[in-house]
């Protein structure tokens, strides 16, 4: 009788445990393949000496195109600072000339509005020109990065410029920045 009871208990235990074991093996985690990882620093793309030549040319063209606008905005800012200084002198003077103060305030507000309007227009024009000049080059860089990673069988290619402080340490031999720039420049003179 003891033997039968032991056998019954053993069979019952097996019946209860068997499905659990089957479930455990059926839901085992998927094995993640080992992947090669590399990184680059996209800020280097803009380096005048060692960067991506087409991108550097586009940036220089933009700078040249908007240098007149930038000078005009700087001149307006300087005029506004001068008016603020004159207004402060008028207000600090012993003789309060309300009409002169009012005229300077009006002149300053008018100039400030003009400056803000021109800054907004310049920002919009710059963004549009930047998209036209740099957009196609950036699209080509994106395609080239993907091809570069595939050619080298990289599972992950990170941009250190976008990760900021998230990267605590990397081996220098994982940096493919110079290699990518050289490859891109050779294919896109």
| Mean pLDDT of the chain, nearest integer | 84
CB atoms within 10 A of CB 18: 10
pLDDT less than 70: residues of the chain? 1-27, 94-96
What is the tens place of the pLDDT at every residue in 57-84?
A: 999 999 999 999 999 999 999 999 998 9
Distance CA 117, CA 170 (A): 46
pLDDT at 98: 78
Q: Are 45 and 180 in contact (CB under 8 A)?
A: no
CB atoms inside a 10 Å sphere around CB 147: 13
> Could you tell me which of 172, 150, 148 has the C-alpha nearest to residue 160?
172
CA distance 139 to 132: 11
Give the integer Cα–Cα distance in Å for 7 and 175: 65
* pTM (whole model) above 0.75: no
Number of domains within the chain: 1
| Token digits of residue 134 | 């740099």
Domain extent for 74: 2-187
Q: What is the pLDDT of residue 165?
A: 81
CATH number of the domain that 61 lies in? 3.30.910.20
Q: What confidence score (pLDDT) does residue 104 get? A: 85
- Token pair 């908007």 is found at 66
């Amino acid at each position: 009788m003891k033997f039968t009871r032991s056998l019954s208990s053993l069979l019952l235990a097996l019946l209860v445990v068997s499905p659990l074991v089957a479930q455990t093996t059926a839901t085992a985690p998927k094995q993640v393949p080992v992947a090669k990882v590399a990184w680059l620093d996209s800020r280097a793309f803009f380096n005048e000496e060692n960067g991506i030549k087409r991108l550097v040319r586009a940036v220089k063209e933009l700078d040249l195109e908007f240098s007149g606008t930038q000078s005009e905005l700087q001149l307006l800012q300087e005029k506004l600072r001068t008016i603020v200084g004159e207004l402060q002198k008028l207000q600090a003077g012993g003789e309060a000339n309300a009409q002169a103060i009012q005229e300077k305030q009006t002149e300053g507000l008018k100039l400030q509005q003009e400056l803000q309007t021109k800054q907004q227009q310049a920002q919009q024009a710059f963004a549009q020109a930047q998209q036209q000049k740099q957009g196609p080059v950036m699209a080509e860089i994106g395609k080239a990065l993907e091809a570069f990673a595939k050619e080298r069988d990289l599972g992950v290619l990170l941009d250190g410029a976008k990760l900021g402080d998230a990267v605590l340490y990397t081996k220098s031999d994982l940096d493919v920045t110079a290699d990518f720039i050289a490859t891109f420049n050779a294919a896109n003179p």
